[in-house]
């Protein structure tokens, strides 16, 4: 018997879509060897964001995050593979794109734009448990 494959919820945020970096970011995830098993373009609602960012809703920067994340569509993906959470988080790089290491998505493609929220192109769940919680929020149609 093999282990159930690990999954991660990935969001390509509005700045990634606006800057035509969707292909480049998905390419990096695919080139690492992970499988994209669900993919869609969606305009996030405040309700979905409040559920997704439950741990941040009371933070001072959260209104800026809502402004950022509702200004245009995002690409939501479920990505699968052994240790995929660790692997995709490593590909993404640190939260602040100015400080993120070169070679990472945020380090190579992102920068500070002087906006209220840190614009960093991509979200990836921070644990397998967070991933399953977030997949249920963004892909309710996948629930069995």
Catalytic residues: 123
Instruction: Tell which one of 65, 76, 121, 131 touches ligand IDP (CB under 6 A).
Output: 65
Distances (CA, A) of 2 to 5, 7, 82, 95: 8, 15, 11, 33
Instruction: Tell which one of 123, 131, 135, 138 touches ligand IDP (CB under 6 A).
Output: 123
H or E element that contains 78: strand 74-80
CB atoms closer than 10 angstroms to residue 39: 15
Angle subtended by helix axes 84-92 and 22-32, to nearest 10 = 140
Q: Does 118 bind ligand IDP (CB under 6 A)?
A: yes
Q: Rank residues 4 and 114 by Cβ distance to ligand IDP and give the closer one.
A: 114
Which residues contact ligand IDP (rule: CB under 6 A)?
Answer: 56, 61, 64-65, 95, 117-118, 120, 123, 126
Residues contributing to the annotated binding site: 13, 61, 89, 95, 106, 120
């Amino acid at each position: 018997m093999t282990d159930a494959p690990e999954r991660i919820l990935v969001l390509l945020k509005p700045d990634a879509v606006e800057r035509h970096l969707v292909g480049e970011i998905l390419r990096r995830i695919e080139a690492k060897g992970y499988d994209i098993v669900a993919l869609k373009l969606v305009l996030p609602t405040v309700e979905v964001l409040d559920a997704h960012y439950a741990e941040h809703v009371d933070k001072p920067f959260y209104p800026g995050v809502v402004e950022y994340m509702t200004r245009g569509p995002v690409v939501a993906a479920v990505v699968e593979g052994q240790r995929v959470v660790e692997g995709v988080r490593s590909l993404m790089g640190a939260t602040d794109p100015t400080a993120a290491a070169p070679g990472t998505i945020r380090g190579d493609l992102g920068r500070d734009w002087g906006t209220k929220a840190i614009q960093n192109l991509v979200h990836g769940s921070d644990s397998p448990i967070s991933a399953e919680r977030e997949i249920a929020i963004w892909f309710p149609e996948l629930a069995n």
